[in-house]
């Protein structure tokens, strides 16, 4: 008997999780493709670029995760047909080396993950949001589960080490203190306002900001000691060690519904999942390091496909024996997120190389979000809290929900766009 038998999976299926991410991904690709077609107007106007991306990606994302959840496959198929038709007019050399070596595809992947995260963290509080997309209790698949891991993946692929730069431990600790401060502010504000936060997510005092801070410190120590070329070995050892510990009783400790009588028991989810998240982050750093290599496009694509297939196979093996658990951040979960992250990144890369005009590889909104990513994430969290404190989200109807989500998204996107337009980068 393995710890997998402790609970029955909930949430949704891997297939629906995949397609729930695919629809906005394809919408983003289509918006990139349409931009050059209207280049005369869009390239000269940040406002028009913003409007196109907001309507096609953000608003469609809101609809996809609320009213149109039963039409995921039809939406995806429609965009696939549009992109395939457009691709027929292109004549690309699959064996060339990109003359610009632009990494806008990484910007596009990260910005899309930030956008989807922004939509979901508020939408989940309304009854129109499908409950199967919310975070699972112990085991299973869901859109929000994937989103948590993909946020970490997106940070890993743009880390200094992934870009062949060394970051000092001192600097990492300094930056982590800012995240810990944000985590502390979030804890105090939730307690002061009696804001309901499920303790089964990270614990009583722990939260996602603290997880990000700890990742910053621990990964910095590891990447300072070990060469980036072999960091995947460190990640593999961590993930194996965690599975051994989980099987030896650590999973029972986390999943049992016992009184939280001390700090360790109070924050057991956050502490235990740190090992898995650290492994996921290190894998992501290594993948970022690999995709930054200057090589033929065909070689880069084949390498990425190889890693995606390997991640999916490892996910299937570990899930068969131990299940997939976001709460534990076990191997099955980490390799599932890694597969989704690599798939998304390589998809953005392929679209950049074979479908997009070289003069326009991303959108104004995506550049803006990537420029102040943490500000965007923090603003979304603050506004989510304010909305929940202001209204009873469970009693709001479908149309008012769409209005609230649209205004909320406009504020988040509008703030970072104005900051980017004035080239103001907020250091947090």
* Four-point Cα dihedral 324, 329, 331, 336, nearest 10: 60
Confidence (pLDDT) at 4: 86
SS3 216: helix
pLDDT at 100 over 90: no
pTM tops 0.85, yes or no: yes
Helix, strand, coil tally for the chain in percent (to 5): 75, 0, 25
Confidence (pLDDT) at 36: 67
Of 4-8, 113-117, 198-202, 332-336, minimum mean pLDDT range: 4-8
Q: Which residue has the tokens 């990537």?
A: 370
Per-residue pLDDT tens digits for 325-357: 999 999 999 999 999 999 999 999 998 888 877
Q: How far are the Cα atoms of 136, 317, 412 from residue 366, in angstroms, in the given order?
A: 29, 36, 12
pLDDT at 166 over 70: yes
**Higher-confidence position of 41 and 318:** 318
pLDDT band at 95 (very low <50, low <70, confident <90, very high): very low
**Higher-confidence position of 89 and 380:** 380
79 and 29 Cβ atoms separated by less than 8 Å = yes
The 3-state secondary structure of 181-248, one letter per residue: HHHHHHHHHHHHCCCCCCHHHHCCCCCHHHHHHHHHHHHHHHHHHCCHHHHHHHHHHHHHHHHHHHHH
- For a pLDDT cut of 70, what percent of the chain falls above it? 93
Element (H, E) at 110: helix 104-123
Per-residue pLDDT tens digits for 283-322: 999 999 999 888 888 888 899 999 999 999 999 999 999 9
Count of positions (residues) in the chain: 428
| Mean pLDDT for the chain overall | 90
How far from the centroid of its chain's Cα atoms is residue 266's Cα?
Answer: 26
């Amino acid at each position: 008997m393995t710890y997998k038998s402790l609970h029955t999976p909930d949430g949704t299926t891997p297939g629906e999780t995949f397609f729930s991410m695919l629809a906005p991904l394809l919408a983003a690709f289509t918006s990139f493709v349409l931009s050059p077609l209207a280049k005369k107007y869009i390239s000269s106007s940040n406002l028009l670029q913003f409007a196109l991306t907001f309507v096609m990606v953000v608003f469609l994302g809101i609809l996809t995760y609320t009213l149109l959840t039963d039409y995921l496959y039809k939406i995806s198929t429609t965009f696939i047909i549009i992109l395939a038709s457009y691709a027929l007019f292109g004549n690309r050399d699959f064996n060339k080396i990109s003359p610009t070596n632009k990494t806008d595809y990484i910007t596009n992947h990260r910005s899309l993950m930030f956008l989807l995260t922004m939509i979901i963290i508020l939408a989940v509080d309304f009854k129109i949001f499908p409950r199967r997309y919310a975070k699972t209790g112990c085991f299973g698949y869901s859109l929000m589960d994937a989103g948590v891991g993909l946020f970490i993946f997106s940070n890993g692929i743009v880390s200094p080490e992934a870009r062949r730069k060394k970051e000092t431990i001192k600097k990492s600790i300094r930056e982590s203190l800012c995240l810990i401060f944000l985590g502390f502010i979030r804890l105090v504000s939730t307690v002061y306002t009696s804001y309901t936060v499920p303790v089964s997510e990270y614990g009583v005092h722990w939260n996602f900001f603290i997880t990000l801070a700890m990742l910053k410190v621990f990964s910095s120590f590891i990447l300072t000691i070990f060469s980036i070329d072999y960091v995947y070995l460190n990640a593999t050892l961590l993930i194996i060690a965690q599975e051994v510990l989980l099987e030896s009783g650590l999973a029972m400790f986390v999943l049992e519904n016992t009184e939280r009588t001390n700090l360790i028991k109070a924050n057991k989810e956050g502490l235990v999942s740190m090992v898995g998240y650290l492994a996921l982050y290190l894998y992501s750093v290594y993948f970022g390091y690999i995709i930054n290599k200057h090589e033929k496009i065909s070689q880069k694509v084949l390498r990425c496909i190889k890693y995606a297939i390997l991640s999916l196979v490892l996910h299937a093996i570990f899930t068969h024996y131990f299940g997939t658990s976001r709460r534990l951040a076990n191997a099955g979960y980490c390799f599932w997120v890694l597969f989704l992250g690599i798939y998304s990144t390589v998809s953005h890369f392929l679209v950049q190389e074979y479908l997009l005009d070289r003069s326009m590889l991303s959108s104004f909104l995506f550049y803006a979000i990537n420029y102040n990513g943490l500000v965007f994430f923090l603003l979304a969290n603050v506004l989510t809290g304010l909305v929940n404190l202001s209204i009873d989200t469970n009693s709001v109807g479908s149309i008012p929900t769409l209005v609230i989500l649209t205004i909320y998204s406009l504020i988040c996107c509008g703030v970072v766009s104005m900051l980017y337009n004035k080239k103001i980068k907020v250091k947090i």
